[in-house]
């Protein structure tokens, strides 16, 4: 069955918990939450490759856009002179080394004036408050606001600040600028933020980040019959950074908090009362017992 121009929308359990903690200081308690996310997926088949595009919405407010490549490798006739730029995968065939990339955009974090900021750590040699005669290298937070597209362009081969932020002039309850962190997931040396050749000012504008995130594909024997998606992907993750007053997933009904004696409480442990869930199916109690009259009867012949 084939559906053209379709998008699949589904809930996905990602395996690891979104958050959890077991406390054993003074008293015992446990709090945690399964990491389920809403996924929008579509697949683009271009030539010999299929690109699987995922837009993932997490319950902590993070949004991720990523793509994985799969399909079959194209081939050429075996030529020994190009063995250092290609990989042999058959008696008479080889495939050249190539790059796969995708262009993705991450939108701003609010409808108000936005700013592009970088954050990193810098070590400074300072005296210790409790021992003035002694010094130590102490990390300090360094923040920088970029004013033009040229300043905001992060090019190949240059040192990239570890934190990239799209922030607004609004603040959360604690006085921090509400922002989203732009985090690129790709192999080293394959990431850049594009800029216009003109000196365009971006301070206080409605910002969009154009990100090129890709990976180098050196063909190998396991690409036959198809290149797998494992490890062949990249993308962009937008993570809230002081955008909220606290983790918004704390209000999710998927959260679990247990204290001694509360294991059977529906209020703190939904799994204790699955039968009372409004969306749960009314199922009979399961049993392994089988009555003799329920067994099939066979004749002597």
Which domains are assigned to the chain? 47-246 (2.70.98.20)
Task: To the nearest 10°, report the CA torsion of 235, 237, 238, 240.
Answer: 180
Distance in angstroms (rounded) separating the CA atoms of residues 272 and 252: 17
pTM: 0.77
Report the 3 state secondary structure along the chain.
CCCCCCCEEEEEEEEEEEEEEEECCCCCEEEEEEEEEEEEEEEEEECCEEEEEEEEECCCCCEEEEEEEEECCCCEECCHHHCCCEEECCCCEEEECEEEEEEEEEECCCCCCEEEEEEEEEEEEEEECCEEEEEEEEEEEEEEEECEHHHHCCCCCCCCCCEEEEEEEEECCCCCEEEEEEEEECCCCCEEECCCCCCCECCCECCEEEEEEEEEECCCHHHCCCECCCCCEEEEEEEEECCCCCCHHHHCCCEEEECCCCCCCCCCCHHHHHHHCCCCCCCCCCCCCCCHHHCCCCCCC
The pLDDT tens digits along the chain (301 residues) read 567 788 999 999 999 999 999 888 777 888 899 999 999 999 988 888 888 999 999 999 999 998 888 888 776 666 665 566 566 666 656 566 666 655 555 555 555 678 889 999 999 999 998 999 999 999 999 999 988 888 888 776 778 888 999 898 899 999 999 999 988 876 554 455 555 556 788 787 878 777 777 777 788 888 888 888 888 888 889 999 999 999 999 888 888 888 877 766 776 666 666 656 556 555 565 454 555 565 555 555 5
């Amino acid at each position: 069955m084939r559906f053209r121009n379709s998008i699949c929308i589904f809930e996905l359990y990602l395996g690891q918990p979104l958050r959890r903690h077991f406390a054993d200081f003074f008293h015992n308690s446990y709090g945690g939450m399964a990491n389920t996310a809403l996924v929008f997926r579509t697949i683009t088949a271009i030539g010999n490759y299929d690109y699987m595009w995922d837009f993932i919405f997490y319950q902590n407010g993070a949004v991720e856009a990523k793509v994985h490549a799969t399909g079959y490798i194209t081939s050429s006739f075996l030529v020994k002179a190009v063995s250092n730029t290609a990989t042999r995968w058959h008696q008479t065939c080889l495939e050249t080394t190539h790059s796969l990339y995708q262009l993705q955009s991450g939108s701003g974090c609010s409808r108000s004036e936005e700013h592009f900021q970088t954050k990193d750590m810098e070590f400074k040699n300072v005296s210790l408050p409790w021992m003035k005669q002694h010094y130590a290298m102490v990390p300090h937070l360094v923040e920088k606001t970029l004013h033009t597209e040229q300043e905001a362009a992060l090019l190949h081969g240059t040192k990239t600040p570890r934190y990239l932020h799209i922030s607004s002039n609004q603040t959360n309850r604690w006085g921090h600028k509400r922002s989203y962190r732009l985090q690129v997931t790709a192999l080293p040396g394959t990431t850049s933020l594009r800029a216009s050749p003109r000196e365009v000012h971006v301070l206080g504008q409605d910002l969009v980040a154009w990100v090129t995130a890709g990976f180098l594909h050196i063909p190998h024997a396991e690409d036959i019959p198809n290149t797998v998606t494992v490890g062949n992907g990249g993308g962009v993750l937008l993570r809230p950074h002081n955008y909220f007053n606290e983790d918004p997933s704390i209000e999710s009904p998927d959260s679990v908090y247990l204290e001694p004696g509360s294991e059977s409480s529906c209020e703190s442990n939904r799994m204790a009362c699955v039968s009372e869930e409004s969306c749960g199916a009314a199922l009979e109690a399961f049993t392994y017992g089988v009555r003799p009259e329920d067994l099939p009867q066979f004749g002597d012949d």
